[in-house]
């Protein structure tokens, strides 16, 4: 923990937040077993009102934030989304809607475009409708996603698709990319599942084996070559799971460095997973956003490097990866200030190696994953 003099020194080096992720709601019609929402989301009831969101958008913009993502849950559940987009546009934000496309139709796309929305990203679960239905917990969601991907493109937006990869869909990557190509996607993020929230709960059933991962990377390379040969502009971004790296990512570019998330009830977080940490985060209902960002104990706790333990504290690489992810360190070791076990220098790296070995064994079926829904979440509200 930082003392007051440390905090003052860190504050002197804290820039403005550039990114704001507005998690408008935890409500969502889907039940993805890899959802990064908190396990106890069902206990969060009082969402910020329209007026509260409008006020905090103005505060964030005044502080210097320029990129704004509307996320959730499913942000389209909020009927004031168009109003929030319009105000964000007026304030000068670049706006991105991150959606499952449930609740989207042509009229809503037109309304969002008229409000000034810059960008829409739709998630796909799979190419196979049965796998998609099993993962999303909805037999109809897949068809809507495909229809809305086409509608978004027809409305003049670039079609940006996000596919969360895991052991139950990664072997179908060839067909997934072919589907994205057929849909006319402009960019596809092939994001291996990050293991937080519900994904961590389902980790054994989601983490692919190394063999699966290497085959998927090779498939992506082949597709990049094929697309280049036919002059087709479709960016393919392949995001490797942390568990198969030997160094951690510089999570969020550093704690409280450029990124902040506001949760549906107004809690302000340094990243969308941070709510799982054993600490309290301040709310915009109680304090101005500026004060939270610059002066709160929560935002200063892991800024800089004074909080680090060995081996990070004396490591030459500490300014490159900031010791990795605090959420991952906590989930795996119980100590949020530990070196991220993804790092091969961590004394806890054997936990990652054990998870990799477990993944080699082939664990469970897609039907055995625990769905992210209110019923399951209530179990964690009680615990
Ligand atoms: S990951 Fe799935 S369940 Fe979670 S918010 Fe997104 S669409 Fe909903
Ligand atoms: S020991 Fe810490 S700072 Fe060094 S590479 Fe590993 S995580 Fe990064």
Report pLDDT digits (tens) over 36-64: 999 999 999 899 999 999 999 999 999 99
Task: Check residue 382 and give its pLDDT.
Answer: 67
Tell me whether residue 32 is annotated as binding. yes
Q: Is 28 annotated as a binding residue?
A: yes
- Which of 370, 372, 362 minimizes the C-alpha distance to 171? 362
Ligand 1 pocket mutation pick from 21, 44, 74 by most atoms within 8 angstroms of CB: 74
Distance of alpha carbon 286 from alpha carbon 264, whole angstroms: 14
Give all strands (DSSP E) within the chain, no chain letters: 19-23, 67-71, 94-99, 119-124, 160-165, 187-192, 235-239, 259-262, 268-269
For residue 379, give Cα distances in angstroms to 203, 231, 375: 18, 51, 7
What's the confidence (pLDDT) of residue 383? 61
pTM: 0.93
Ligand 1 close to Cβ of residue 101 (< 6 A): no
Measured distance CA(272)–CA(28) in Å, rounded: 16
Give nearest CA residue, ligand 1 atom 2: 32
307: domain CATH number? 3.20.20.70
Task: For ligand 1, atom 4, name the residue with the nearest CA.
Answer: 35
**Residues pairing with 369 in the sheet:** none
Per DSSP, what are the bridge partners of residue 237?
189
Q: What is the pLDDT of residues 308-361, one digit of tens each?
A: 999 999 999 999 999 999 999 999 999 999 999 999 999 999 999 999 999 998
Which ligand is closest to the CA of 77, given by its number?
Answer: 1
Cα of 73 vs centre of ligand 1, distance in Å, is 6
Task: Note the maximum CA span of the chain.
Answer: 60
Question: Counting atoms of ligand 2 from 1, which one is nearest the CA of 311?
Answer: 1
Task: Name which of 195, 200, 175 is nearest 240 in CA terms.
Answer: 195
What DSSP character marks residue 170?
Answer: G
In a domain, 7, yes or no: no
pLDDT at 193: 92
In a domain, 4, yes or no: no
Contacts 24+ apart (CB under 8 A), 4-9: 6/300, 6/304, 6/306, 7/295, 7/297, 7/300, 9/304
Domain count within the chain: 1
Question: Which of ligand 1's atoms lies nearest the C-alpha of 72?
Answer: 5
> Does a structural domain hold residue 3?
no
CA–CA gap between residue 149 and residue 143 (Å, rounded): 10
Does ligand 1 come within 6 angstroms of the Cβ of 73? yes
> Has residue 2 been placed in a domain?
no
Atom in ligand 1 nearest the alpha carbon of residue 372: 3
Q: Is residue 224 included in any domain, yes or no?
A: yes
Assigned domain for 157 exists: yes
Which among 5, 80, 14 has a CA at the least distance from the CA of 303?
A: 14
Best residue among 247, 254, 342 to mutate for probing ligand 2, ranked by most atoms within 8 Å of CB: 247
* Beta carbon of 35 within 6 Å of any ligand 1 atom: yes
- Is residue 27 included in any domain, yes or no? yes
Pocket of ligand 2 (CB under 6 A): 247-248, 311-312, 315, 317-318, 321, 323-324, 339-340, 343, 345
Q: 35 among the known binding-site residues?
A: yes
Under-70 pLDDT residues of the chain:
1-13, 382-383
Angle of helix 349-360 relative to helix 210-229, nearest 10 degrees, comes to 80
Domain around 336? 17-382
């Amino acid at each position: 923990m930082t003392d007051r003099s440390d905090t003052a020194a860190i504050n002197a080096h804290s820039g403005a937040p550039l990114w704001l992720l507005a998690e408008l709601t935890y409500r969502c019609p889907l039940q993805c077993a890899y959802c990064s929402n908190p396990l106890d989301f069902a206990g969060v009831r009082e969402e910020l009102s329209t007026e509260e969101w409008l006020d905090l958008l103005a505060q964030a913009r005044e502080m210097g934030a320029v990129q704004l993502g509307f996320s959730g849950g499913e942000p389209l559940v909020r009927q004031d989304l168009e109003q929030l987009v319009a105000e964000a546009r007026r304030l000068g934000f670049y706006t991105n809607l991150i959606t499952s496309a449930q609740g989207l139709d042509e009229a809503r796309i037109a309304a969002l475009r008229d409000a000034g929305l810059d960008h829409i990203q739709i998630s796909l679960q799979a190419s196979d409708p049965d796998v998609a239905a099993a993962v999303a917990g909805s037999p109809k969601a897949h068809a809507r996603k495909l229809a809305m991907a086409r509608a978004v493109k027809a409305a003049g937006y670039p079609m940006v698709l996000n596919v969360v990869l895991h052991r139950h869909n990664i072997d179908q990557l060839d067909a997934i990319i072919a589907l994205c190509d057929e849909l006319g996607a402009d960019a596809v993020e092939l994001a291996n599942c990050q293991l937080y929230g519900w994904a961590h709960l389902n980790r054994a059933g989601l983490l692919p084996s190394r063999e699966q991962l290497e085959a998927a990377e090779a498939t992506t390379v082949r597709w990049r070559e094929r697309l280049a040969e036919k002059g087709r502009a479709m960016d393919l971004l392949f995001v490797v799971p942390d568990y198969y790296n030997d160094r951690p990512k510089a999570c969020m570019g550093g704690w409280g460095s450029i990124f902040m998330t506001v949760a549906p009830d107004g809690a302000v977080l340094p990243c969308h997973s941070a709510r799982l940490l054993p600490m309290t985060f301040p709310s915009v209902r109680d304090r101005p956003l500026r004060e939270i960002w610059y002066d709160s104990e929560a935002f200063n706790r892991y800024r800089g490097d004074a909080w680090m333990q060995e081996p990070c504290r004396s490591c030459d690489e500490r300014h490159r990866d900031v010791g990795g992810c605090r959420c991952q360190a906590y989930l795996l070791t119980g100590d949020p200030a530990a070196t991220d076990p993804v790092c091969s220098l961590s004394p806890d790296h054997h936990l990652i190696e054990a998870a990799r070995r477990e993944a080699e064994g082939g664990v469970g079926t897609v039907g055995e994953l625990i769905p992210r829904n209110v019923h399951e979440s209530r179990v964690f509200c009680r615990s």
